Amino acid sequence: MYSEKVMEHFRHPRNVGEMENPDGTGRVGNPVCGDIMELYIKVKDGVIVDAKFQTFGCGAAIATSSMVTELVKGKTLDEALKISNKTVAEALDGLPANKLHCSVLAEEALQAAIEDYRKKV
Amino acid sequence: MKKLIYLDNNATTPVRPEVVEVMDFCHTECFGNPSTVYSFGRNAKRVMDESREKIARMIDASKDEIVFTSGGTEADNLAVFGIAKANKDKGKHIITSKIEHHAVINSCKALEKDGFEITYLDVDKYGIVNLEQLERTIKKETILISIMHANNEIGTIEPIAEIGKIAKKHKIYFHSDTVQSIGKINVDVKEMNLDMISISSHKLYGPKGIGCLYVKKGTRIKPILYGGEQEHHLRAGTENVPGIAGFGRAMELAVTETDKENKRLTRLRDMLQEGLAKRIMHIIFNGHPTERLPGTLNCAIQFIEGESLILKLDDLGICASTGSACSSASLEPSHVLMAIGLPHEIAHGSLRLSLGRDTTDEDIDYVLDVLPKAVEELRAFSPLYKEFLKKGK
Ligand SMILES: Cc1ncc(COP(=O)(O)O)c(C=O)c1O
Ligand code: FES
C-alpha cells in the first residue's frame, strides 16, 4: 500500500534522533490515532541548518518525519513555513488516503518548531 | 527470496495438499449441479453429503444439522439475524460480548437499529466474559446468547460449557462462533449445550469462502438469503461443491489431529513467549495465561507502534498482525484490546503472532533472533522511550 519512496524512508530514516541544544523544538500529537512526533531545528541567520526527529507512529509517520527533515534543511524559516503536508506527501510519491493525516503531523511539528524558535529569539 | 515465516494463522491458513487433491477432483470430475437428477449431478451431491457427514461427525452432530455458508461471517450473520427474525415475537433482546468478531458485533448493531436491545457483556483483563453479568442481564425477552469460543486476537477461551448450562436453564438459544477453536481445541455441541456454532474452512487449512453453521434440530431460525431450496431451505444458492469437499477433508484432518497439534503448538508458543520476555524489556502479554488457544501469542511492546513493527518484520520475511489504531482503516485501536482494558498507547504497540502447522523450532529461533533487534531500532527514535529512560534516571 505504501510507495517505494515511503518504504525507502521508513527503512532508512534520515536525521533520526534527539538534537543537542536545538534552537527550536516542535512536539505534536496526532488526535486521530494517538501518535507523537518531535522535530528539532538548528537555525543560523534565518536559515534552518539542521533538523532531526523522533517519532512514535506508523510507517507513514516515520517516513513523513524523515522527509520533512530533509526538505527543511537549507530553507529560510519563511520558506520552511510554506511546506505543507501536501508537499511532504508528494515528495514521498503520495500516501494512501487514510494515511494523509500522518503527513499533517509532520507539517504541524515543523510549524511548532519554528514557532518555538521565534518565541525564544 | 528468503524463507517466509508465516505467523498469521489466525487470519488465514494455507490449504493442505490433501485438501487441494479432493478439490481438484471436484473441479474436474464432478462439476455437476448437485440439485440435478441425472447421475453426473448426483455424484456432486454424493461428494457434498459425504463432506456434510464428516463435518457433523467431528462435532458430534448429525448431518442435517449442518448448513453450508460462504464462511464464518455468513454463518454468524445467519445465526444472529436468523434467530432474531424467527423469534422476535418472543422478545427482542440479545446478549453477546464486547470481544466478538465484527461479524457478530456488527450484525447486532444492525439489529439495534431495528429496535432490538443488545447487551454487550464485559470481559476481565484476560478477556473472559463476566458470567455473573450474563445471569443478571437475562430476561424473559432474551432470545439469543452469542459468545465466541476462542478469541481471534488474544486467543482467550471462553467458559462455553458453563454458558451453555446457563442458556439451557433459561431456555435461550446459544450460538458460539467457533471459527478459531475448531481444530485447535475440542468442540462438542452436545456436551457444551450449543444450539448453533459457526465454522470457517480457511482457518483450518481448507479453502476460503466456505464454512457452515451448525443448527441443532428443532431450532427456530429463518434464512437470510432467499432463492432455491438448498441447505434445508436455510441457505439458497447452488452449492460450492469443491469448497464443501475441501472443507470436509480439512475439517476431518484438523479435528483428528487436534490433540497432537495442540501439544506441539503450545510448546512452540511458550518457547516464543519465554524467549521474548527474556529479550525484550517492557513487553506485556495479552490473553489468558492458560485458557488460551495453543498457537496464539498476543503482546504489547511499549513505546513503539504496531504497524511500523509489522513493516519491519515483513522486511525480515515474517508475517504477523497488530491491533494498533494506525493499522486499521477506522484508525481505532482493536475493540478487543480496549475491552480488556489496555490503555490506548499500549494497544498501539500490540503484536499478534499466530503459529500454525508449518511453524517449526527454527522459525521460533529466527523470530527470537530478529524481533528484539527490530524493536530496538524503532525504540531508538521513539520520543516516548526517550522520556521513559530520562524519567528512570
Ligand atoms: C472469530 C472469527 N469469526 C469469524 C470470522 C470470519 O470468518 P470468514 O473469514 O470465513 O468470513 C473470523 C475470521 O476472520 C474469525 O476469526
Ligand atoms: S501516525 Fe497513526 S496512522 Fe500514521
Consecutive 10-residue averages of pLDDT for chain B (393 residues): 88 98 93 91 93 97 97 98 98 98 98 98 98 97 98 98 98 98 96 97 98 98 96 95 98 98 98 98 97 98 96 97 90 95 93 98 98 97 93 77
Q: Is the CB of B71 under 6 A from ligand 1?
A: yes
Q: List chain B residues with CB under 8 Å of A54.
A: 381-383, 386
Q: Are B148 and B184 in contact (CB under 8 A)?
A: no
Q: What is the pLDDT of residue B393?
A: 67
For residue A106, the CA-to-ligand 1 centroid distance in Å is 37
Q: Are B190 and B58 in contact (CB under 8 A)?
A: no
Rounded to two decimals, the pTM is 0.95
Q: Is there a contact between B326 and A35 if contact means CB atoms under 8 Å apart?
A: yes
Q: What is the pLDDT of residue B2?
A: 67
Q: What is the pLDDT of residue B392?
A: 78
Q: Are A10 and A1 in contact (CB under 8 A)?
A: no
Q: Are B184 and B258 in contact (CB under 8 A)?
A: yes
For residue B179, the CA-to-ligand 1 centroid distance in Å is 6
Mention every residue, 6+ apart, whose C-beta is less than 8 A from residue B155: B10, B180, B287, B288, B292, B293, B295, B296, B297, B298, B354
**pLDDT value at A121 more than 90:** no
Partner residue opposite A56 with nearest CB, options B303, B327, B331:
B303
Q: Which of B90, B100, B152 is nearest to B121 (CA)?
A: B100
Q: Does A46 touch chain B (CB under 8 A)?
A: no
Mention every residue, 6+ apart, whose C-beta is less than 8 A from residue B367: B5, B7, B272, B318, B353
Strand runs labelled E in B53-108: 66-69, 93-97
Q: What is the pLDDT of residue A34?
A: 80
Q: What is the pLDDT of residue B391?
A: 87
For chains A and B, CB pairs below 8 A equal: 65
Q: What is the pLDDT of residue B329?
A: 82
Report residue B235 as a C-alpha cell: 441457505
Query: How is chain B split among helix, strand and coil, in percent rounded to 5?
Result: 45, 15, 40
Q: What is the pLDDT of residue A30?
A: 76
Q: Which one of the ligands is nearest to B74 CA?
A: 1
Strand partners, A54: A38
Q: Is the CB of A13 under 6 A from ligand 2?
A: no
Q: Which of B151, B214, B208, B183 is nearest to B14 (CA)?
A: B208
Q: For A18, phi and psi rounded to 5 degrees?
A: -85, 150
